[in-house]
Amino acid sequence: MDYDLIVIGGGIVGAAAAYRAGQLGARTLLCDRHDAGRATDAGAGILAPESSTRDGRLWYDFALDAVDYYAELIESLAADGVPDEELSQAYSRCSKLTVALDDDEAAGLADMELEIYARQEERCPPAAERIRRISSAEARDAYFPLLADASAVLLQPVARRVDGRLMTTALAHGLRRRGVQTVDADVSALLLENNQALGVRTAGGDEFTASAVLIAGGAWSDAFGAQLNARIPVAPQRGQIIHLRLPGQDSSSWSILSGFSGHYQVPWPDSRVVVGATRETGSGYVPHATVDGVQEVLREALRLAPGLRNAAVHEIRVGLRPYTVDHLPLLGPIPRVCGVYLATGHGPTGLTLGPYSAKLVVEQALDQPVAWDLTPFSTSRFAR
């Protein structure tokens, strides 16, 4: 065999998987096709499961471990020679506000709060890190000067943000350091014999052999379902997101903002605020911005922060989230096929969960101890 592991897909999940395999000393090849619409390149980068009640307990417990894993990952990349400046641009801690703008939203926030506080009691964070109510005036003065008048505001003093593109670049640096090989290639087929993985074939006709293959192809992962005689229930969900610039404004200490219509804003230190995003289930593989999408994003951005009215529109990004109907990822072996593993389906929270998911699945594929029972994330949950 040429390799112990071949990873298909070089978004945050595939790159983190290949990096973990490299850390474990496995002979590893990463194949990536760089599709337009790669979700990692468009992701807003909010890592804040502590104040999210949308996705249930399993997601929450997994997400807490996943955000903790970032510290370990960053430390390892630093030890592998990725410059501190590059890492601090890719990943940093910041605060987050959840903002209700009218009475209906304030009632929704009060409901969320009960669950957030109950979970917080279990974790017992230090007093300075506890999620709590603050006034609209304090939110504007201390955390986001362009904020609208709010009916209610919840402050999460410690959240994190990640720039998916820069994190993938940092991982690529780590891959070189760990001797992981990478190739720009479209994997057109798996090599299989008697339901056992033998490697991959590329559209260019090259064949690479390996004892195990990990499919981390994001929204495109289901392309291998027919060959595996298995359904890989992941579909593209388009997200349109807009980068705004505020020349002369120091946004370095501003908070992430999260509203009640699913929209949010992520400030970055370079006078940039990223506002998003649409969630277009059923969009198909069509990674372009639309008039409707841009209008929706800007309308919601101004509702939350009217002070953005004169910001410069710098860039519009479009990504295809790998969406599953139950909002949980697809992790672990493909049933009835030896040596083929999945790490996909992270939907709107793949920057949060992805590196940790990737680490666990790689450990499973390489017969290492695995800290989580991945059974609830198997594709077999859809067969039941």
Q: Which residues bind ligand FAD (CB under 6 A)?
A: 8-14, 31-35, 38-40, 42-46, 164, 186-187, 216-220, 223, 239, 241, 276-277, 319, 321-322, 344, 346-352, 354
368 residue type, one letter: Q
Pairing of strands 207-215, 132-134: unpaired
Nearer to ligand FAD (CB atom), residue 211 or residue 349: 349
Give the C-alpha separation, 74 to 67, whole Å. Answer: 11
- Residue 32 CB, nearest approach to ligand FAD (Å): 5
Nearer to ligand FAD (CB atom), residue 173 or residue 238: 238
- Residue 135 CB, nearest approach to ligand FAD (Å): 26
Nearer to ligand FAD (CB atom), residue 34 or residue 309: 34
66 residue type, one letter: A
Nearer to ligand FAD (CB atom), residue 153 or residue 351: 351
Spatial CA neighbour of 266 closest among 19, 101, 118, 94 = 94
Task: Write the DSSP assignment of 280-342 as a string of letters.
Answer: EET--S-----HHHHHHHHHHHHHH-GGGTT-EEEEEEEEEEEE-TTS--EEEEPTT-BTEEE
- What are phi and psi for residue 176, nearest 5 degrees? -60, -45
Nearer to ligand FAD (CB atom), residue 217 or residue 267: 217
Give the C-alpha separation, 303 to 271, whole Å. Answer: 20
- Residue 141 CB, nearest approach to ligand FAD (Å): 26
Nearer to ligand FAD (CB atom), residue 211 or residue 344: 344
- Residue 137 CB, nearest approach to ligand FAD (Å): 27
Instruction: Give residue 346's Cα distance to chain centre.
Output: 7
* Position of minimal CB gap to ligand FAD: 350
Nearer to ligand FAD (CB atom), residue 45 or residue 339: 45
- Residue 107 CB, nearest approach to ligand FAD (Å): 25
Give the C-alpha separation, 312 to 245, whole Å. Answer: 5
Give the C-alpha separation, 153 to 264, whole Å. Answer: 14
- Residue 149 CB, nearest approach to ligand FAD (Å): 25
Q: Alpha helix (H) ranges present in the chain?
A: 12-23, 39-42, 56-79, 84-90, 103-123, 136-138, 164-177, 225-228, 291-304, 350-365
